[in-house]
């Protein structure tokens, strides 16, 4: 009974040893200046604890001075936290699916991970990211760019600072009307968002939300949708021009064959006439592929001209 009590007491002392004391105990045992029993009695631990510290010290010394294997760059300790970082890296950097991540971890690390575990890792990281995003001060944003993306037929409302490219709003929703946009803009306003200029495609829902949350700020039309509209307009006039040439050749052929006597009876397909001045200059510049940057005039002239062309078309 006395030996059992001594063993229990020694184990309790060993559990309370700090890493520094364990290291000193291992070094003393490895140096063989004192017996194992003497070290155990002096430190209040059992001989098994002293031998274990000695063996760990000798193994560390052996590994430190042993010749490294050729081709081995470094040894990486794979922990649970490292696995979680790998899951997030595969998900956000390579955009890997849950099943692809599961296969990678199973094949390369011989470790099983469930799809639910992968989802929980993602949700935990997303919640932490939301806390960080909600604590960011958005008062420095002067020009805000807003638009909708679509994923699985659902709109993702996003707003980005034009200068720093910081995404201050990114949320998937079922709708993109004024109320939905207004809720997210109000949340951003609580974080200090107060832009002077907003750039967007001027969708009805976004414009309604902007007038409600940020009334009076400048709302500009974005370059992408304007350029796409002008490209569509160029395609329209180019097709109508080619159709006019086809109609003319058809009329000339019919006249030569004597099928048409009175030109007043001719009813060709409606062809477009390119209007003069700035409108015609903008349309012709896009037809020739030169674009408005080689023409004299500002971007506002191009914008005004394109709107007039669109109304006439």
- Per-residue pLDDT band for 263 (boundaries 50, 70, 90) equals low
List the Cα angle 68/72/74 in 5-degree steps.
Answer: 95
- Count of beta carbons in the 10 Å neighbourhood of residue 55: 13
- Per-residue pLDDT band for 155 (boundaries 50, 70, 90) equals very high
pLDDT at 157 over 70: yes
Q: For 178-182, what is the mean pLDDT?
A: 92
SS3 per residue for 122-140: HHHHHHHHHHHHHCCCCCC
- Per-residue pLDDT band for 196 (boundaries 50, 70, 90) equals very high
pLDDT at 260: 63
Q: For 39-64, what is the mean pLDDT?
A: 85
Picking from 206, 86, 97, 191, the residue whose alpha carbon sits closest to that of residue 135 is 191
pLDDT at 124: 94
Q: How far apart are the first and last CA of the chain?
A: 104
Q: For 166-193, what is the mean pLDDT?
A: 91
Backbone angles phi, psi at 147, to 5 degrees: -165, 175
224-256 pLDDT, tens digit per residue, is 888 888 899 999 999 999 999 988 888 888 888
Q: Does domain 143-221 have CATH number 3.30.420.10?
A: yes
- Per-residue pLDDT band for 85 (boundaries 50, 70, 90) equals very high
Q: Would you list the domain boundaries of the chain?
A: 2-65, 80-134, 143-221, 224-312
List the Cα angle 217/222/227 in 5-degree steps.
Answer: 155
Backbone angles phi, psi at 163, to 5 degrees: -100, -45
Q: Which long-range CB contacts under 8 A does 176-179 form with residues at least 24 apart?
A: 176/148, 176/203, 176/205, 176/206, 177/205, 177/208, 178/204, 178/205, 178/206, 178/207, 178/208, 178/209, 178/212, 179/209
Q: What is the DSSP letter of 107?
A: H
pLDDT at 65 over 80: no
pLDDT at 267: 58
- Per-residue pLDDT band for 63 (boundaries 50, 70, 90) equals confident
Q: How far apart are CA 117 and CA 189, in angstroms?
A: 35
Report residue 144 as tokens. Answer: 């805000």
């Amino acid at each position: 009974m006395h030996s059992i009590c001594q063993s229990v007491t020694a184990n309790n002392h060993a559990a309370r040893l700090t890493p520094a004391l364990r290291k000193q105990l291992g070094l003393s045992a490895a140096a063989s200046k004192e017996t194992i029993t003497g070290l155990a009695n002096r430190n209040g631990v059992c001989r098994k604890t002293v031998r274990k510290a000695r063996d760990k010290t000798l193994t560390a010394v052996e590994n430190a001075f042993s010749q490294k294997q050729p081709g081995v760059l470094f040894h990486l300790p794979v922990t649970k936290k490292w696995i979680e970082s790998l899951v997030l890296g595969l998900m956000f950097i390579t955009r890997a699916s849950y099943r692809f991540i599961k296969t990678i971890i199973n094949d390369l690390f011989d470790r099983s991970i469930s799809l639910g575990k992968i989802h929980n890792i993602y949700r935990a990281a997303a919640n932490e990211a939301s806390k960080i995003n909600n604590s960011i001060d958005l008062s420095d944003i002067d020009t805000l760019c807003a638009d909708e993306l679509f994923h699985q037929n659902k709109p993702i409302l996003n707003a980005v600072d034009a200068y720093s490219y910081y995404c201050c709003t990114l949320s998937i929703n079922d709708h993109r009307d004024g109320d939905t946009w207004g809720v997210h803009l109000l949340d951003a306003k609580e974080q200090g968002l107060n832009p002077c200029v907003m750039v967007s495609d001027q969708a009805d829902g976004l414009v309604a939300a902007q007038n409600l949350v940020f009334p009076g700020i400048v709302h500009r039309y974005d370059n992408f949708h304007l350029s796409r509209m002008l490209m569509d307009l160029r395609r329209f006039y180019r097709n109508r021009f080619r159709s006019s040439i086809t109609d003319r050749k058809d009329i000339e052929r019919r006249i030569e064959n004597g099928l048409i006597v009175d030109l007043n009876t001719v009813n060709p397909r409606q062809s477009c006439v390119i209007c003069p001045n700035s409108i015609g200059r903008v349309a012709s510049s896009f037809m020739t592929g030169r674009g408005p940057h080689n023409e004299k005039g500002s971007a506002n002239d191009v914008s005004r001209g394109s709107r007039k062309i669109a109304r006439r078309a």
